[in-house]
Amino acid sequence: MADSRTMQVVRTVDAIRELVSAARADGCSIGLVPTMGALHHAHVSLMDAARRDCDFTVVSVFVNPTQFGPNEDYERYPRDEAADLSTCRSAGVDAVFLPAVGEMYAPEAVTAVRVAGLTSGLCGAFRPGHFDGVATVVAKLLNIVQPDRAYFGEKDAQQLAVIRRVVIDLDMPTEVVGCPTVREESGLAVSSRNAYLSSAERVRAQSLYAALQAGRARILSGERDAESVIGTMRSVIDPAGSAKVDYVSIVEPATMQPVARIEDPVLLALAVRIGGTRLIDNLTVDPSADSL
Amino acid sequence: MADSRTMQVVRTVDAIRELVSAARADGCSIGLVPTMGALHHAHVSLMDAARRDCDFTVVSVFVNPTQFGPNEDYERYPRDEAADLSTCRSAGVDAVFLPAVGEMYAPEAVTAVRVAGLTSGLCGAFRPGHFDGVATVVAKLLNIVQPDRAYFGEKDAQQLAVIRRVVIDLDMPTEVVGCPTVREESGLAVSSRNAYLSSAERVRAQSLYAALQAGRARILSGERDAESVIGTMRSVIDPAGSAKVDYVSIVEPATMQPVARIEDPVLLALAVRIGGTRLIDNLTVDPSADSL
């Protein structure tokens, strides 16, 4: 699709609906990659997956204010529209939806989508209201674009679990596709927020993935006690006890509920503040796997 | 459509989606009439409106447990599937969707749609959680059927306002159509809950519409003070002060917020318990109208 026509850039709900309707009338399946911009090669991997599965790929770029807390980085979140459009064009995207905040939220809007349980722990405990904002904006984007499939990174594991539940619980006719975390050579998970890191902080940030790997190694060596594995992970991130660890947790992957004994596949998940930058990462580990 | 084929009755999400997809592939527009069954001629007026506007009319029949409070009438709410199907067949409906509770709500479902503001007063104040249940099940039904238009009665004015907001705020691609309240000769609004009334209670229930008419008359005679009009309405419903009035309110129709001075069109709304039966009714009044 993308090779035969120019990428289209639209800013209104009506305009993106019109493009998608036309593509659908041509018999195209529709893929959506929702993003907050500051696009990097992990986003491109989502676009590649969408293009592989679908005939018409839409990328949305919207820094959603309702998922940021009052003391978070909404204002300074990186924005570079020209670079984002260039990335989308190179990736062979068919349409980019770039709404302004006023196009997405009327002043009189009062509706929110809330996901209970799943959102109480991990990042939800440190970012009150964050996942309501995510669930609501994703429901809106899915209703606007009505894609056959929507693509999200596994790096944001709790977000992905929340979105899967919203789509199932509200019977939305879209398949949610999780895509593997993309990492730098060092193991650092690719993230738009890595742009905030100094080069010294970037080195310290490698401890997140190192901790996940250490946790995995202990589980595959036979350790089944979650607290013990968490202790190991904490000691890797923060041997001197001076880093700001929001959490290091071992949870059941679908419900995000803490696990005490590790018998089934689990998610090792952590959030750490490196300087002023909050980074998250996670790794799924199957204790029955027989090797490192 | 309905004349050329038999009405289809399905009980699963997959089956109704298949019927709707087939109708859409035939070029049909889709109308949905969501109901809780116990169908009466006010429901038939919604079906008639849907058939007038749309090529393929779906009626859903689902007594939604999440919109009933713990001390409300979920268990005794009237259910008569055979009569409902007969009513739908006579009305020329194309498909009836009759899901069981387990088909609509998985045990692990945790997502709710919430509408703030609009739901705090009137029935929302007396039925905590009710409108979350309504908003969530309507979002689900709209996502399952994906109708071009969905039809709701104006008798449930706050519900209609909530549903309009959900559809706008979540960008759902459905037009919400409000249909006029259907009344008996006596003025009593037709409702499934009228079946609970004894014949003596049915006479007393006429005071609801009489009160709305009295309020309208005072406004059209020039009264602009809402408290004064409310006093008149209360005296009509309950001259002896012994009836159980949940509320008699004058509100702005879109936001359901109370009005002190009546300058623009307002909604007169009331809820009264007649014996064990809670009845609601409402009337929109434009103070600039120049005659009764």
What are the structural domains of chain A?
7-179 (3.40.50.620), 192-285 (3.30.1300.10)
**A27 lies within 8 A of chain B by CB:** no
Q: What is the pLDDT of residue B2?
A: 44
B241 pLDDT exceeds 90?
A: no
Q: Is the ipTM of this complex over 0.95?
A: no
Mean pLDDT of B62-84: 96
Angle at A179 between CA A175 and CA A184, to 5 degrees: 165
> Which region among A139-148, B231-240, B266-275 has the lowest average model confidence (pLDDT)?
B231-240
CA distance B270 to chain A (A): 24
**Measured between beta carbons, which residues in chain A are less than 8 angstroms from residue B146?**
173
What is the Cα–Cα distance from A132 to A79, expressed in whole angstroms? 23
Average pLDDT, consecutive stretches of 10 residues, N- to C-terminus, chain A (292 residues): 74 98 97 98 98 98 96 94 98 98 97 95 94 98 98 98 98 98 97 94 94 97 97 90 88 96 97 94 92 58
**Measured between beta carbons, which residues in chain A are less than 8 angstroms from residue B115?**
110-111
B1 pLDDT exceeds 60?
A: no
CA distance B233 to chain A (A): 31
Q: What is the pLDDT of residue B291?
A: 62
> What strands lie across the sheet with B95-97, from one edge to the other?
B8-10, B95-97, B56-61, B30-35, B149-153, B175-179
Mean pLDDT of B227-235: 97
CA distance A170 to chain B (A): 5
Q: What is the pLDDT of residue A291?
A: 62
CB contact under 8 A, A116 and B112: yes
CB contact under 8 A, A111 and B169: yes
The tokens of B291 are what?
């005659």
**Sign of the Cα pseudo-torsion (A248, A254, A258, A260, in order):** negative
The tokens of A215 are what?
């946790």
Computed over every residue of chain B, the mean pLDDT equals: 95
User: How far, in Å, are A176, B38, B90, B98, B196 from residue B83 at the CA level?
Assistant: 40, 8, 11, 13, 17
Catalytic residue ranges of B: 43
CB contact under 8 A, B170 and A113: yes
In which band, very low, low, confident or very high, does the pLDDT at B65 lie, cut at 50, 70 and 90?
A: very high
Q: What is the pLDDT of residue A290?
A: 64
Query: Are B9 and B95 a contacting pair, CB within 8 Å?
Result: yes
Mean pLDDT of B145-153: 98
Which 225-264 residues of chain B touch chain A by CB within 8 A?
Answer: 255
Angle at B178 between CA A111 and CA B131, to 5 degrees: 35
Tally of CB atoms within 10 A around B63: 18
pTM of the model: 0.94
Residue listed under structure tokens 């999200």: A152
Q: For the residues of A87-142, what is the DSSP string, one character each?
A: HHHHTT-SEEE---HHHH--TT--EEEEE-STTTSTHHHHSTTHHHHHHHHHHHHH
**Measured between beta carbons, which residues in chain A are less than 8 angstroms from residue B169?**
106, 109-111, 140
Backbone angles phi, psi at A269, to 5 degrees: -135, 140
Catalytic residue ranges of A: 43
B105 pLDDT exceeds 70?
A: yes
- For residue B110, the 8-state DSSP code is -
**Measured between beta carbons, which residues in chain A are less than 8 angstroms from residue B166?**
111
In which band, very low, low, confident or very high, does the pLDDT at B184 lie, cut at 50, 70 and 90?
A: very high
